[in-house]
């Protein structure tokens, strides 16, 4: 399978994010539009309905290093959230505990991570977890 160069892939993802192609529950884009290396990204996850996260918006930071998409990005929650896969001190998403990161494939995208996290929130085990007040940050 042909390897897609990092920047092509990220550009494609950027366009997808800005145009809102996808299921509309996650949004993402560059933190700094001038960043030609496209390393730092913002993401938001709209809390899944029927869970404690409903109507909340969670902000995240994603960092794509030079080896993206061979290496998965590093993902941090900015908004405070109580989830087993999120380090409660730093907000970092533990890659070992999120299937999308632990089994990362170069065809995966930033959106896949956000969607996977959202699925994690809606997971029957997690959806009723008590959450810190909205607006608090790590």
Partner 1 sequence: MEESTSVKSINVKFRPSNGDGFDYSFDPGQLTVRQLKEELVLHTTIPADNMRLVYSGRVLKDEDMVDLYGVKEGHTIHVVKRADNRASEQASNVTPTSTGQRNISSTTASSPFGMNPFGNFDPDLMRNMMNSPMIRHILSNPEIVRTMVMQNPTMRQMIERNPEIGHIINDPSFIRQTMDMARNPELMREMMRNNDRALANLETIPGGFNHLRRMYHTLQEPLESAGRNNDQSSEAANRRLAEMLNVERPPQGRINNTPLPNPWAPRNNTNSSTSSSSNTTNLFGGIPSFGLMGFPPAQMSFPSPSSNSRISNSTQGPNQSSTPNSQTNGISSATSPTNASGNAPNFPNVNLPQNSPTSIDPESIRRLQQVMQRHLTSSQFPSRQQMPQSYYPSLFGLPNPFFANMQQSLGTSQTSSQPSEPPEIRFRVQLQRLEEMGFMDQAANIRALLAAGGDVNVAIEWLLRNLNS
d(CA 110, CA 73): 8
Distance CA 128, CA 125 (A): 7
Contact between 130 and partner 1 per CB under 8 A = no
Is residue 65 close enough to count as binding partner 1 by CB under 8 A?
no
Q: Considering only residues 106 through 125, tell me which ones interact with partner 1, judged by CB under 8 A.
A: 115, 118-119, 122-124
Q: Pick from 4, 11, 49, 63 the residue near partner 1 by CB under 8 A.
A: 49
Which residue among 12, 35, 54, 65 contacts partner 1 (CB under 8 A)? 54
Q: Measured between alpha carbons, how far is residue 72 from residues 1, 40, 84, 107 in Å?
A: 19, 13, 19, 10
Helix (H, G, I), strand (E, B) or coil at 99: helix
Could you say which of 9, 13, 39, 48 contacts partner 1 (CB under 8 A)? 48
Among the listed ranges 2-10, 13-21, 68-76, 95-103, the one in contact with partner 1 (CB under 8 A) is 13-21
Distance CA 128, CA 124 (A): 8
Q: Does 129 bind partner 1 (CB under 8 A)?
A: no
Sequence-distant (6+) residues with CB within 8 A of 17 are: 27, 28, 29, 110, 111
Query: Which residue ranges make up the site for partner 1 (CB under 8 A)?
Result: 17-21, 23-25, 27-31, 33, 41-44, 46, 48-51, 54-57, 59-60, 115, 118-119, 122-124, 134
């Amino acid at each position: 399978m042909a390897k897609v160069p990092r920047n092509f892939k990220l550009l494609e993802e950027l366009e997808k994010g800005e145009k809102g192609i996808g299921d509309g529950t996650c949004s993402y884009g560059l933190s700094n539009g001038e960043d030609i290396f496209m390393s730092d990204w913002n993401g938001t996850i709209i809390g899944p309905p029927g869970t404690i996260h409903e109507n909340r918006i969670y902000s995240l930071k994603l960092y794509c290093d030079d080896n993206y998409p061979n290496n998965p990005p590093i993902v941090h929650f900015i908004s405070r959230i109580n989830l087993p896969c999120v380090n409660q001190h730093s907000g970092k998403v533990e890659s070992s505990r999120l299937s999308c990161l632990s089994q990362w494939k170069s065809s995966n995208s930033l959106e896949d991570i956000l969607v996977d996290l959202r699925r994690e929130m809606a997971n029957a085990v997690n959806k009723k977890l008590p959450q810190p007040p909205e607006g608090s940050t790590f």
